[in-house]
Structure 1
Amino acid sequence: MRVAPPATLDELRRLDDLAALDAAAFGPAGGSGLLQEFAAQRGRRVVVALGGGDCGSGGGGGSGDDDGDGAPLLGYVLYQPSSLAVQIVRLAVAPAARRRGVGRALIQAAIAAAAAQRRVACATLHVAPSNAPALALYRACGFADDAIVQDYYGRGAHAVRMVLELGDASHGTPQRPPPEPG
């Protein structure tokens, strides 16, 4: 996996690949508009998982897209670090790479990258209550349900806000990484 600030997305030639993966994960409504808007905002970051890398995926399970090195895009996470937290904004994993640790590795990499830049007390995210696979992944990573956010995805489409406590950044409590698979 490689951590890429938004300014290098074009250099990585990944925006089209990310948009295609986004559409595969979230349907045509996902689209590249969100990705382009996200990439243009200051301070936001992207972590990508490439086949044959840290995720142990080998060459067999990617989206079929290639970055020129022969490494298919397996997934990505968009995140926003702030003064004490990191928000996981979006996570997508190629269908062929699901249930192989890619999502967990991406979440861990985003939190680690944010923590390397500043002290982070928690990670937060929002997920549809009907998205059972995502809820299971986030809970396995140590996230806990925090609240239901009414109309988060639009009228009548609510979200579960989840939080992973990493330590008290204001009091110097050591941060802990998300749990490893057990």
Structure 2
Amino acid sequence: MIVKELVQQMIDEDGVISVEKCGNINIYWCFKNQTLQTLYDSSEKLKKQIQETESDIAISKRELEKTLETGRRKKFTVGQKSYSRDVLIEKRKKVQEEIKKKSTSLQKIESIRWDGAKIQENKQRVHLKKGQLEKITDNIEILVDYLYKKFFLQPEQIRKEFGIPEEFEELTDI
């Protein structure tokens, strides 16, 4: 079994051995020329990868040297213009502060601005609150009526004791 597995591995993975079925017999072969060509192709592929990697390394080294030469100096030149690092950093801080201020003012304006969707949303919220308020007033009236019937207390006395107005204001539709 071990020999069969080894031969199968050499056929499938390595490509060292070739096989062809002839009738009910399998014929295996391997030519020296075929093996050398495979090795040559692999070596050429590896050489090409090495060259590409070396060129990438050279480019990265040049960029690193350029960065080290020009990086973090107090004053530097780009094209015909010369700049001061400290001045540019201060300008950047001021611009960032201005952006923050303007974005907060924009948020305030957006919260104040009323469009159709916001108006509709607020209408729904007011109607919901109105419905809740009406339920609460109905419940208060029911409780006052319950205390009146259960303990024979006058509704005026109950309202006076708990600070409930004699009659709730009518809410008009919005």
Question: When the two structures are superposed, what TM-score results if normalisation uses the length of structure 1?
Answer: 0.16
**Which of the pair is proportionally richer in strand?**
1
**Which of the pair is proportionally richer in helix?**
2
Which structure would you say has the larger RCO, counting Cα contacts within 8 Å and 6 or more residues apart? Answer: 1
